[in-house]
Amino acid sequence: MERVKALVAAASTYIREVLGELSKVVWPTPARTAKLTGVVIGIVVLIMGYLYLLDLPLGRGLEMVVVR
């Protein structure tokens, strides 16, 4: 029974501490979230294009080696 009481006490302490930390969080505004989402999408598109351009000659070269 003591183990159960200790477990419940530890769980309630943990939940109280988590809620206390969450109250300190500064959440971003919707405008900032949209702006940063756009930045992430832009970077992903740039990297995707770079990898595509890098893959074209490598794929063609591999095709030449494998087919012949």
**Beta strand segments in the chain, E:** none
Helix (H, G, I), strand (E, B) or coil at 26: coil
pLDDT of residue 58: 92
pLDDT higher at 17 or 63: 17
pTM confidence score: 0.62
Question: Residue 68: pLDDT above 90?
Answer: no
Q: Which residue has the tokens 């206390």?
A: 20
The residue type found at 68 is R
Q: How many structural domains is the chain composed of?
A: 1
CA of residue 7 relative to chain centroid, distance: 32
- Tens of pLDDT, residue by residue over 12-53, are 999 999 999 999 999 999 999 999 999 999 999 999 999 999
C-alpha dihedral, 63 to 64 to 67 to 68, nearest 10°: -170
Domain that holds residue 34: 2-67
